[in-house]
Amino acid sequence: MFKFQQRIAGGVCLLALGLSGCASGPRAFTGGEYDDPTRVELLDDKFNEADMQQMADTMIRAMVSCGYIANAPKPPIVIVEKVANRTQDHIDMISMTNKIRTALINSGKVRFVDKEARETLDEEYDYNAAGNVSEVTQKKRGKQAGADYILNGSLSTNVQELGGTKFVYYKLTMNLTNLEASTIDCTQEKELRKKFKKQTYGL
């Protein structure tokens, strides 16, 4: 009787293996290969790297072509704030911010102040002032470049469902604010709207 029950359990396990597997651990992915990161594949209704790339490209072109940047006698110095996530999704906003900053630096049109390094810089100034380095290479306070602009922005979303159709709308807004005058000298918006069909399962 016990052996018969074992055969039944084994048969059920084999039957269910293709759907959920009998093992409790996660499945391993094998046979990997490199993929083109620029190819758009909407695998689900979440914010993805293609959305991020489209938005970043739009912001970069707009900021570089902005008159206050394009016509500046020398590249303005910018301090960047992390793009605010005003959606309900978990989105890597640091990655988006870094992507925009990196491309703008590489354009040669602007220079950036590293706000995140300020604490480290203070420690290094103290270390230099303590006589730990030679006078020739010693770095002192008071020589940092002041920022001309602050680059910040926010990402918002709106989701609508109608029957078996779902519409997901994203909007990224970026502003370049003049630090001295507090005026928004450059601004740009990028909108994305995606349509999804609800997946149905049949027996």
Instruction: Evaluate whether residue 26 is within a structural domain.
Output: no
Q: What does the pLDDT read at residue 2?
A: 46
Q: Is the dihedral of CA 96, 98, 103, 108 positive or negative?
A: positive
- Residue 38 falls inside a structural domain: no
Quickly tell me which residue has 């925009």 as its tokens.
100
Which segment of 13-17, 68-72, 125-129, 191-195 scores lowest on mean pLDDT?
13-17
DSSP calls for 49-101: HHHHHHHHHHHHHHHHHSHHHHT-SSPPEEEE-PPEE-SSS---HHHHHHHHH
Domain count, the chain: 1
**Residue 117, both tokens:** 């390094």
Amino acid, single-letter form, for residue 159:
V
**Tokens for 102?**
């990196």
Which whole number is the average pLDDT over 1-18?
A: 49
Structural tokens at position 68: 């206050």
Say if 9 falls within a structural domain: no
Note whether residue 36 is domain-resident: no
* Domain-located, residue 39: no
In this predicted structure, what is the pLDDT of residue 89? 87
pLDDT at residue number 4? 45
User: Residue 96 carries which side chain, given as an amino acid letter?
Assistant: M
Provide the CATH number for the domain around residue 115.
3.40.50
Question: Does residue 162 fall inside a structural domain?
Answer: no
Question: For 196-203, what is the mean pLDDT?
Answer: 68
Give the range of the structural domain holding residue 186, as residue numbers without chain letter: 46-83+91-129+141-152+173-190
Residue 125 is assigned to a structural domain of this protein: yes
- pLDDT digits 0-9 by tens, 140-191: 999 999 999 999 999 999 988 888 888 889 999 999 999 999 999 999 999 9
Burial class from Cβ neighbours inside 10 Å (0-12, 13-18, 19+) for residue 26 reads exposed
What mean pLDDT, rounded, does the chain reach?
A: 83
The answer to whether position 166 is within a domain reads no
Cα torsion 98, 64, 49, 81 to 10°: value is 30
